[in-house]
Amino acid sequence: MTDIRIFIDADACPVKDEAYKVAARHGLKTFVVSNAFMTVPRDPMIERVVVPAGPDVADDWIAERAGPADVVVTADVPLADRCVKAGATVLAPNGRAFDTAAIGMALATRNLMSDLRSSGEQTRGPKPFSPRDRSAFLSALDLAIVRLKRAATVG
């Protein structure tokens, strides 16, 4: 058993099942955080956390707990920024890593697109989630956990 934990921003996460499988393989505690009840596997290592409805309540719950030995799975860029600043490893559902080098650009892009939409500009949404994205996520999550385990044994 290791101290590494996985936090899943679960409301719109398309890779929960993949995260459960990787977490089980590594014996990791996983928190599935959402604003509504959602079914999770009956496993003592998977904890469902239902937070009250409201803007950023799930994000706040995750950000207040995530730290350097944790992996956060989210597509929410502001949450990713908070967790990166806390030292967590942050992955998008497509496997893209949010890190200190990439988070600034991700925030700028998000803010630009938000400004364009609020001014009436028609923008395309994200591209459809694909099997390639799912595979990239599985690889990225496994690699992130292996790196955290290695760092724990060295440090």
Tell me which of 3 and 73 has the higher pLDDT. 73
Model confidence, pTM: 0.85
Q: Would you state the pLDDT for residue 100?
A: 75
Residue pair 61/33 in contact (Cβ under 8 Å)? The answer is: yes
How sure is the predictor about 111, in pLDDT bands with cuts at 50, 70 and 90? low
| pLDDT at 119 > cutoff 50 | yes
Q: What is the mean pLDDT of residues 135-151?
A: 96
* 44-98 pLDDT, tens digit each: 999 999 999 988 999 999 999 999 999 999 999 899 999 999 999 999 999 999 9
Cβ burial of 33 (10 Å; 0-12, 13-18, 19+) is: buried
- Other CB atoms within a 10 A radius of the CB of residue 138 amount to 16
26-35 average pLDDT score: 97
Structural domains of the chain in order of their starting residue, each with its CATH number:
5-122+129-154 (3.40.50)
Q: Is 7 helix (H, G, I), strand (E, B) or coil?
A: strand
Region 23-43: mean pLDDT is 96
Task: Report the SS3 class of residue 5.
Answer: strand
Average pLDDT on 138-142 reads: 97
pLDDT band at 1 (very low <50, low <70, confident <90, very high): very low
- Return all residues near 142 (Cβ < 8 A) that are at least 6 apart: 22, 25
